[in-house]
Amino acid sequence: MLDPAGLYRLEPDAPALDDPVLVVVLDGFVDAGAAARLAVESLLAAGAAQPVVRFDVDQLVDYRSRRPPLRFETDHWEHYAAPELDIVALTDTASTGYLLLTGPEPDTQWERFAAALEELVRTLGVRLVVNLTGIPMAVPHTRPIGVTVHGTRPELTEGHVALFATAEVPGSAVALIEYRLGQAGHAAMGFAVHVPHYLARAEYPQAARVLVDHVGIAGGLYLSTESLSMAAERAEKEIGEQVAASEEVQQVVEALERQYDAVTAGRASGLSEDLPSADELAAEVEKFLARQDEDDPPGP
């Protein structure tokens, strides 16, 4: 492996934080309902971000698979939106500093990137690493939002009920980071919020608010969710109107409600056999999202 330190640069004027939490959200993998992205936007909007670490994206990003946008104006190139993968310092509402790593998930050198993060966790004195994502689940939007929690130590997930014991899933850089940090003896954990299948491709601020709340509790931070709460109220109203307008979607939601209630009441141990098939759910999801797209104003 090449030297991990060759992937990043520490900013010389970066603030020194006392035992900070590091929140990690990388673009490019699963993020149902844009939950993690909305959570990051909420955190960044709460205050000025101070650069701490900059990664060399030229070594990590495959530009041909994820082409960054360039804007052309009449007869020249006006702007290039270069990808950025940085760690910045933020403060919560109680003026406690913490760190946030955001940007594109590396396409290459995952092991070297994970080793670089482990170095930075030691260098910056990080006490806890928390990663966030949203995953599509067969759950209704009319019930409390669930979260799957995982971590490198049993005490990090204490009090959370696991929905399943074993699952094979596609790998991700952030999952590898958590795994390698655990092997190195660091405290790291993740929250995967459950987003209804039929809302997976829409923005679901309700799920983002749950993620921010969980980060605050896990990291001992006071993080504002006011903007997400306002967005969630608007989204809840819009979702209700859309569901009410479609008998097919109503049937799907009602089936998911029956399943959810049966599981939480202890009458079932897992997913119900009586639900619509994956293909049926997918078809209804596409219809539902298509109607949402028709109602949205065209972009610039």
DSSP per-residue string spanning 141-198? TTSPPPEEEEESSGGGSTTPPPS-S-------HHHHHHHHHHHTT--EEEEEEEEEGG
24-55 residue pLDDT tens? 999 988 899 999 999 999 999 998 999 999 99
* Percent of all residues in the chain with a pLDDT value above 70, rounded to a whole number: 88
- Output the DSSP codes for 130-148: EEEEEEEES--TTSPPPEE
| 109 torsion bin: left (phi>0), alpha (psi -120 to 50), beta (else) | left
Give the max Cα distance, the chain: 67
Question: How far is the C-alpha of 150 from the C-alpha of 225, rounded, in Å?
Answer: 23
CB 42 within 8 A of CB 225: yes
289: exposed, middle or buried (C-beta count within 10 Å: 0-12, 13-18, 19+)?
A: middle
pLDDT band for position 259 (cuts 50, 70, 90): confident
Cα-based angle 29, 224, 199 (whole degrees, multiple of 5): 40
Helices 226-244 and 205-219, packing angle to 10 deg: 150
φ, ψ of residue 134 to 5 degrees: the values are: -120, 135
Specify the pLDDT at position 300.
Answer: 39
- The CA R_g of the chain, rounded to the nearest whole Å, is 21
Pairwise pLDDT comparison (264 vs 107), residue with the higher score? 107
CB 1 within 8 A of CB 112: yes
Residue 277's pLDDT is what? 46
Indicate left, alpha or beta for 220 from its phi (over 0: left) and psi (-120 to 50: alpha).
left
Measured distance CA(131)–CA(8) in Å, rounded: 20
pTM: 0.87
What is the pLDDT at residue 276? 46
Burial class of residue 171 in the structure, from the number of CB atoms within 10 Å of its CB (0-12 exposed, 13-18 middle, 19+ buried):
exposed
Name the DSSP class of 89: E
Interval 109-137: pLDDT, tens = 999 999 999 999 999 999 999 999 999 98
Q: Which two tokens stand for residue 173?
A: 């850089």
The arithmetic mean of pLDDT across residues 209-220, rounded, is: 97
The residue ranges of every structural domain in the chain are 4-68+79-225, 234-295
What is the dihedral sign for C-alpha 211, 101, 136, 177? negative
**Per residue in 133-181, pLDDT tens?**
999 988 999 999 999 999 999 999 998 877 767 778 889 999 999 999 9
Residue 282 predicted with pLDDT over 60: no
C-alpha distances in Å from residue 46, one per residue of 41, 52, 71, 95, 160: 9, 18, 29, 11, 28
Secondary structure (3-state) at 106: coil
A 10 A CB-CB count for 181 gives: 21
pLDDT in tens, 91-109: 999 999 999 999 999 999 9
How much is the pLDDT for 295?
53
Mean pLDDT of the chain: 89
Token couple for 197: 């299948």
**The domain 4-68+79-225: what is its CATH number?**
3.40.50.10900
Question: Angle at which helices 278-295 and 226-244 pack, to 10 degrees?
Answer: 110
